[in-house]
Amino acid sequence: MKTIDQWLNEYGRDHKNPLNQKIHKVCVPLIMFSILGIFWSIPVPKFMDGIYFLNWATIFAAFSLAYYLILDRVYFIIMIFVASIMLLLIDFLEQSSNLLTISLTIFILSWIGQFIGHKIEGQKPSFLEDLQFLLIGPLWVFKGFRGKITLPF
């Protein structure tokens, strides 16, 4: 298994253009948010119904967080914070608007932005090489926080 540094270096190899980096720093979190919103919108089975915050988005987030924990404990903590904020916002949006329409719109527009960024970069998206890069992208975006957090354990 690759280390977190190997993953981030490989991802960074395809994201050197400053404009593409800026596009990714906006679009990657928006894609993450929109995917969680789409998963939140999928009806749950009866046994999950009525258990607050138990839905496909939180299950997906839990599996993603488990992957991050395997890669790096500090990134795991960063992503718990990011995912929690996104899930709370999604919960609020679901109660006050059409979450699925908003999520699909954000998803489509953000992917358009990503592909424009890669056209500018002159590189194909990393996930075409390995789907795990879809989970590495958010870590790359938030890597600036990595050095600011130290754990006592």
- Report pLDDT digits (tens) over 43-70: 999 999 888 889 999 999 999 999 999 9
Structure confidence at residue 131 (pLDDT): 87
Rg (CA), the chain: 16
Band of residue 149 on the pLDDT scale cut at 50, 70, 90: low
Report residue 101's pLDDT band, with 50, 70 and 90 as the boundaries: very high
pLDDT of 126 over the 80 cut: yes
Specify the pTM.
0.90
**Band of residue 153 on the pLDDT scale cut at 50, 70, 90:** low
